[in-house]
Amino acid sequence: MLVLCIAHKFNIPNMAELWVAFGTGQKFRLIPAHVIAEQLGRVKSAALPGFHAFTGCDTVSCINGRGKRTAWDTWLAYQEATRAFAHISLPVVFIPDDVSDIFERFVVLMYRRTSSNSTVNQERKELITSLNRSIDNIPPTSAALTQHVLRAAYQAGHCWGQALIGVVDLPSPDKWGWIRANDEWLPLWSLLSEASLACRELLRCGCKRQCSTACKCVKAKLPCTSLCLCLGDCRDDS
């Protein structure tokens, strides 16, 4: 509610002050949404619903291992993200490629602020092969991020973006990162096949030099790939 008050403060005619009652008992307080909105400015305030939905809300999952504070700090460092958040904070027909590119770069920076990669797939590969990150500590795939952005756009733009309209016109969620199954809506996580089904052997070695008989891939009778530290270029065929 506070996010919506801040976002729509400038859209309510003759609204000098807008307060939000928060908490109960001794923790009760009044939050001046109009002050926060003025501090953020009209553009960033309008983009706040997109940021909130994208980084995790009741209907949209968060980015694994990255909370609101990390996301906020990333936004401060990457101001171009404001345009992407503002875009999905309004009812839109589709997500253009240039906006999708901004979201990919934003997620890359959430995981590694010094990265020069522009796509999450590039970052995933580098974090695994060169920096030895675990599979639980890397960004989502580009395919998964696409569905995540759609869900965030549906919530922030189509639902919250029409908060001042009495009767809203919501499109079907099936085009916005959701799938209908057994009379309920479930998140469509990705259009890619599940790794365990698409790749029976998901193995990588940590050989820094030419692979030998001690190589995990050699032992499994599998060729080294770009996931390996050797990048698949140092297989010992002797």
Compare 203 and 63 and report the one with higher pLDDT. 63
- Smallest CA-to-CA distance from 154 within 184, 185, 180, 175 is with 175
Instruction: Share the mean pLDDT of the chain.
Output: 91
Q: Does pLDDT of 43 surpass 70?
A: yes
pLDDT at 194: 65
Q: Does pLDDT of 6 surpass 80?
A: yes
d(CA 35, CA 37): 5
3-state secondary structure of 42: helix
Q: Does pLDDT of 198 surpass 80?
A: no
Q: Report the percent of the chain where pLDDT is more than 90.
A: 71
In this prediction, residues 163-187 reach a mean pLDDT of 93
pLDDT at 25: 94
Q: How confident is the model at residue 236 (pLDDT cuts 50, 70, 90)?
A: very low
pLDDT at 214: 84
Compare 232 and 89 and report the one with higher pLDDT. 89
- Exposure string over 31-68, b if 16+ CB within 10 A, otherwise e: bebbebbeebeeebbbbbbbbbbbbbbebbeebeebee
Lowest mean pLDDT among 42-46, 69-73, 221-225: 221-225
pLDDT at 195: 59
pLDDT at 200: 45
> What is the token pair recorded at 189?
């996580």
Compare 81 and 192 and report the one with higher pLDDT. 81
Q: Does pLDDT of 231 surpass 90?
A: no
Q: How confident is the model at residue 238 (pLDDT cuts 50, 70, 90)?
A: very low
Instruction: Name residue 184's beta-bridge partners.
Output: 181
Query: What's phi and psi for 120, nearest 5 deg?
Result: -70, -30
In this prediction, residues 4-17 reach a mean pLDDT of 92
Q: How confident is the model at residue 204 (pLDDT cuts 50, 70, 90)?
A: confident
Q: Model confidence over 98-131: pLDDT tens digits?
A: 999 999 999 999 999 999 999 999 999 999 988 9
User: Which are the contacts of 210, defined by CB distance < 8 A and separation ≥ 6?
Assistant: 230, 234, 235, 236
